[in-house]
Structures are given as structure tokens and as C-alpha cells.
């Protein structure tokens, strides 16, 4: 299982919050609450602060990370550290859920890439030779032995056999095919020796198009996401300005620092 730093930081943040809550309400022990709060603020606050600074430096954007960190630090400053830890934990959980959703798309692309064979057996005038799949072009003929993955999209020139097309269609039942039937890259020839005429190069194959679609979908932002980013930047700026003006106003009215900041 691959180590996920984001998940580990979220787990540490939630664990710190749980420890702090246990120390305050169950055990009434500052010796337990303090380390729990420190863990929650370090694991949940530092990554968010670094992200906020990076966005501010590279893209000149005030994003939601900055707002969350500011709110948590303000809570800490007025003696509401546990409330700030709750905020950091919820924010960390939401980021982890988003990252894992994006990770599924990345893993789908990686899985498709792993299914693509690197070599194929090309029929030439001198016999059958093993060549890189990337060198194949439309019109070439390749030999598929039992158990081999189809290297590129093509049409069966001779032979017949059953193919597992679950990687492309999701259908678990093998499909029997004979001369003239199309075959697709990354599917598996289960039995029979087939000669396949290449119809598309590797870059134009069905799997290549699937990878391109997944990658484009991952990179593209939906209209709702673009609006959310646009709104989030302006919301963050307005909240920070409004909070600063409110703090200045309360201080001018003679309120104490803690009361004004709270």
C-alpha cells in the first residue's frame, strides 16, 4: 500500500484533536490537552500555511487555506485553541477527501498505462521479430500468441480465438473472434494464435484515447469549480478586510484585545 502523506497528516490532525478533547473534557489534564493541540496545529496548520504562502507567492492568490489558518491562529490568540483545532481538522479532512477523489483518476491512468505491452512480434520478410510497440504503424502485421496482450488496435488477418476485453468494455466474459474482427490494445488473447493487421499506431489507439480523456477531465475545471475558485478568492479577501476593519473598530471603541479579536 502506497504511503499517503496527506492522509497521514489528516490522521495526525484528527488524533491531536481527539487527544486535546480527551484531555479537556474527560481527564481535565492540561498535560494531555497541550500536546494534542500542538499536534493538531502542526499537522493541520503548517501544510495549509505553506500552501497559502505558495499560492500567494506564485499565483498572487488569497485562497481558502489562508483564511483557515488565519481563523485558527485567531482562535488560538483568544484562548479558543480547541475550536481552532476543530477548524483545522475539518479543513484537513475535506482536503484529503478531495485529493483521494483526484487520486482515483490518476490511478486509473496509471492502471491503463501498465496494461500496455512494450513489445510486439512483427511479421517481416525475414520472419517474426520482436520490436517496440511504439515503432508499429498502420498496415503492419503482428503475431499474438495465447496469453499475450494485444499491442495495438487492429483487425484479425488470420486465426481465431477468445479475447478478454474486460479492460476496455468491462465485460468479464471472453469474446470469440475470427478473421475480420477488430481487436483492441491491452485486451488479452486467451487462446489460439492470431495474426493481426495494425489499424492504428500506439499514439492513436483506444487506450491512448482513454488515457487522454481521463487526463483532460482531470485537468479541466467544471464551470462550478471555476466559479468556486473565483468566489473563494474574493470571499477570502473580503473576510480578511472585514475582520481587520471590525477589529480596528472594536479596539477604537475601547474593547479589550481578546474581546475585539473574538
DSSP state string for 6-53? HHHHHHHHHHHHHHHHIIIIIS--HHHHHHHHHHHHHHHHHHHHHHHH
pLDDT band, residue 218 (cuts 50/70/90): low
Q: How many CB atoms lie within 10 A of CB 145?
A: 12
Task: Tell me the pLDDT band of 225, cut-offs 50, 70 and 90.
Answer: low
Q: Is the pLDDT of residue 206 over 90?
A: no
For residues 146-153, give the mean pLDDT.
90
Q: Which of 233, 240, 239, 243 is nearest to 61 (CA)?
A: 233
pLDDT of residue 219: 66
Query: What confidence category does residue 262 fall into, taking pLDDT thresholds of 50, 70 and 90?
Result: low
By CB neighbour count within 10 A (0-12 exposed, 13-18 middle, 19+ buried), where does 43 fall? buried
Q: What element of type H or E holds 130?
A: strand 127-132
pLDDT score, position 157? 93
**Residue 97 corresponds to which cell in the numbers above?**
477527501
Rank 51-55, 138-142, 250-254 by mean pLDDT and report only the highest.
Answer: 138-142
What are the tens digits of pLDDT across the range 54-71? Answer: 887 887 777 788 888 888
Question: What CATH topology corresponds to 117-213?
Answer: 2.70.150
pLDDT tens digit sequence for 164-181: 988 888 788 899 999 999
131 vs 63, higher pLDDT: 131
Per residue in 84-117, pLDDT (tens digit) is 999 999 989 988 887 777 777 677 777 777 878 8
Question: What pLDDT score was predicted for residue 40?
Answer: 93
* Residue keyed to cell 500506439: 202
Kindly list the domain boundaries of the chain, sorted by start residue.
1-115, 117-213, 230-262
The answer, yes or no, to whether residue 142 has pLDDT greater than 90, is: yes
pTM for the whole structure: 0.60
Amino acid at each position: 500500500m502506497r504511503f499517503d502523506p496527506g492522509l497521514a497528516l489528516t490522521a495526525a490532525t484528527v488524533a491531536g484533536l481527539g487527544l486535546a478533547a480527551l484531555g479537556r473534557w474527560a481527564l481535565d489534564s492540561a498535560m494531555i490537552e497541550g500536546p494534542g493541540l500542538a499536534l493538531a496545529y502542526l499537522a493541520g496548520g503548517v501544510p495549509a500555511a505553506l500552501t497559502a504562502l505558495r499560492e500567494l507567492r506564485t499565483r498572487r492568490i488569497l485562497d481558502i487555506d489562508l483564511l483557515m489558518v488565519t481563523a485558527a491562529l485567531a482562535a488560538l490568540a483568544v484562548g479558543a485553541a480547541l475550536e481552532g483545532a476543530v477548524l483545522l481538522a475539518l479543513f484537513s479532512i475535506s482536503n484529503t477527501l478531495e485529493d483521494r477523489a483526484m487520486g482515483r483518476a490518476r490511478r486509473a491512468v496509471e492502471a491503463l498505462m501498465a496494461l500496455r505491452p512494450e513489445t510486439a512480434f512483427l511479421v517481416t520478410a525475414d520472419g517474426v521479430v520482436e520490436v517496440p510497440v511504439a515503432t508499429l504503424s498502420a498496415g503492419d502485421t503482428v503475431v499474438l500468441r495465447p496469453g499475450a496482450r494485444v499491442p495495438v488496435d487492429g483487425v484479425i488477418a488470420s486465426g481465431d480465438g477468445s479475447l478478454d476485453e474486460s479492460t476496455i468494455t468491462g465485460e468479464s466474459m471472453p469474446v470469440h473472434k475470427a478473421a475480420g474482427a477488430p481487436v483492441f490494445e491491452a485486451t488479452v488473447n486467451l487462446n489460439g494464435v492470431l495474426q493481426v493487421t495494425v489499424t492504428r499506431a500506439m499514439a492513436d489507439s483506444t487506450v491512448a484515447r482513454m488515457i487522454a480523456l481521463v487526463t483532460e477531465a482531470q485537468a479541466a475545471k467544471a464551470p462550478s469549480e471555476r466559479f468556486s475558485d473565483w468566489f473563494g478568492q474574493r470571499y477570502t479577501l473580503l473576510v480578511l478586510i472585514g475582520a481587520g476593519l471590525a477589529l480596528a473598530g472594536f479596539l477604537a471603541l475601547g474593547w479589550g484585545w481578546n474581546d475585539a479579536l473574538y
